[in-house]
A = this chain, B = another copy of it.
Amino acid sequence: MASIIIIGSGLCGTLMALRLAQKGYHVDIYEKRPDMRQANIGGGRSINLALSDRGLKGLEMVGLREKALELVIPMKGRQIHDQKGNQQFFSYSGRQGEVINSISRKGLNILLMDEAQKTGKIRFFFRHECSDIDFDRGVATVKNLETHEESTISGEVILGTDGAFSAVRQAMMRQSGALRFQYSQSFLDTGYKELTIPATPDGGFRLEKNALHIWPREGFMLIALPNLDGSFTVTLFLPFEGEKSFANLHSPTEIKQFFDTYFASATEHMPDLVEDFYENPTSSLCTIKCFPWQVGGKVALMGDAAHAVVPFYGQGMNASFEDCVVLDACMDQFPGEWNHILSAYETARKVNGDAIGDLAVDNFYEMKAATADPVFALKRRIELDLEQNFPDYFSKYSMVTFREDLPYKIAMDKGREQDAQLMEYAKTIFPGQEWNREEVYQMLKNKV
């Protein structure tokens, strides 16, 4: 008999299960996909992820920080590739040690599953799909996808960690009137497709290993994150429609030509480009916000199920792990009182889930604008210079990424104010003119 039910064995669900087991709970996890440790399936919607300080705090909570760090490749900054093949490196931070980490989604998920299994308190039910939730009774209906049998399950609480298309959230949607369920889903006009830069024959990296590579172009871009095996996972972000778009790439020749024109320094390392392009899906990018995140102290949403975000801040997994940290703290605050626990969790996290959703969309537009705007480039230089010279100055990016002590909402509000001031200041500097470091620092210090 489980005391907690978790729907979804992705990163968030498995981390939370592990923590609950450490707290003494028995947990049953239901997952509609097969066990990724046996089946040859992808781990989810993206192959690798950026693990940063908020995520590491979640792993620290369950004692897996060090084990996870064995699986990563640190990325110290952005390696920007222009159309002529020139490269320029921009550090993520002016401070030492502030890096983000490329990690395989599947690799990390398997680490979490294996550790979960070791506790002896967690059972996994793969190929079991949640089809409905009875919120009054706190009971979930699950369907065994092998036998097609349906059964009902219950526990002290049900946690929905079943991702952006969450069945638990859809059950809430079906009770929209009664729950007054606020919901929005918003898609970008840009889609993405994953491609590959393979390792060299001897397992080496074809590009600088410790960087997140970006080929920014106006309105579209290519990025690449390193993998442990020497390969890079490459992602093309491109509008669905329009002149330069997925819709306008009609043939292998056009695809090859497009890449040769805009991304020559990547394309030379992509022997299987055209095959990959046709084989891999073109996916959409969605931000989801909703409220409530919990019903009656019995059912709660966590991770992408509660706040799906676009990937432009590299914070999806980190935000989900932070949900686990907050829920854990709420459990300590109100031992055994799930009504209070879930209500406190919801109150603490809703505003921050929305904030990282907004920040990620901001960054999508910022990444597009950044390539064209010299004022923006200057602003970014000033920011890095400030970070190098003033240990207590943090850019918006740094607050979001490296300051796991600051809620996203505060990072967003402070960061946006800072950005606006810096952009105003950058406009007053003539090309080639030096800026006054101390003056800028005092301006931001006083106001923020």
Which A residues have a C-beta under 8 Å from some C-beta of B?
Answer: 176-178, 180-189, 240, 283-284, 286
Q: How far is the CB of A112 from chain B (nearest CB, A)?
A: 27
User: From A290, which residue of chain B is reached at the shortest CB distance?
Assistant: B185
Can you report 7 residue pairs joining A to B where beta carbons are below 8 Å apart?
A176-B185, A177-B286, A178-B284, A180-B188, A182-B185, A182-B186, A182-B187
Contact between B189 and A185 (Cβ–Cβ < 8 Å)?
no
Q: How far, in whole Å, are A178 and B286 apart by their CA atoms in the complex?
A: 12
Main secondary structure of the interface of A (DSSP, over half): strand
Q: How far is the CB of A392 from chain B (nearest CB, A)?
A: 40
User: From A176, which residue of chain B is reached at the shortest CB distance?
Assistant: B185
Contact between B240 and A283 (Cβ–Cβ < 8 Å)?
no
Contact between A183 and B183 (Cβ–Cβ < 8 Å)?
yes
Q: How far, in whole Å, are A182 and B186 apart by their CA atoms in the complex?
A: 5
Q: Which residues of chain B come closer than 8 Å to A182, judged between CB atoms?
A: 185-187
User: From A178, which residue of chain B is reached at the shortest CB distance?
Assistant: B284
User: From A283, which residue of chain B is reached at the shortest CB distance?
Assistant: B177
Q: Which residues of chain B come closer than 8 Å to A286, judged between CB atoms?
A: 176-177, 180
Q: Which residues of chain B come closer than 8 Å to A283, judged between CB atoms?
A: 177
Q: How far is the CB of A361 from chain B (nearest CB, A)?
A: 13
Q: Which 10 pairs of residues, A with B, have the shortest CB-CB distance?
A: A180-B187, A184-B184, A177-B284, A183-B185, A180-B284, A182-B186, A182-B187, A176-B185, A183-B184, A182-B185
Q: Which residues of chain B come closer than 8 Å to A240, judged between CB atoms?
A: 180
Q: How far, in whole Å, are A181 and B165 apart by their CA atoms in the complex?
A: 13
Q: Which residues of chain B come closer than 8 Å to A176, judged between CB atoms?
A: 185, 187, 286
Q: How far is the CB of A288 from chain B (nearest CB, A)?
A: 10
Q: Which residues of chain B come closer than 8 Å to A284, judged between CB atoms?
A: 177-178, 180
Q: How far is the CB of A305 from chain B (nearest CB, A)?
A: 15
Contact between A181 and B187 (Cβ–Cβ < 8 Å)?
yes
Q: How far is the CB of A192 from chain B (nearest CB, A)?
A: 12
Q: Which residues of chain B come closer than 8 Å to A189, judged between CB atoms?
A: 180
Q: Which residue among A188, A189, A240, A284 has the maximum number of chain B CB atoms within 10 Å of its CB?
A: A284
Q: How far, in whole Å, are A211 and B189 apart by their CA atoms in the complex?
A: 48
Partner of A185, one of B181, B186, B187, B188: B181
Q: How far, in whole Å, are A188 and B284 apart by their CA atoms in the complex?
A: 30
Q: How far is the CB of A402 from chain B (nearest CB, A)?
A: 33
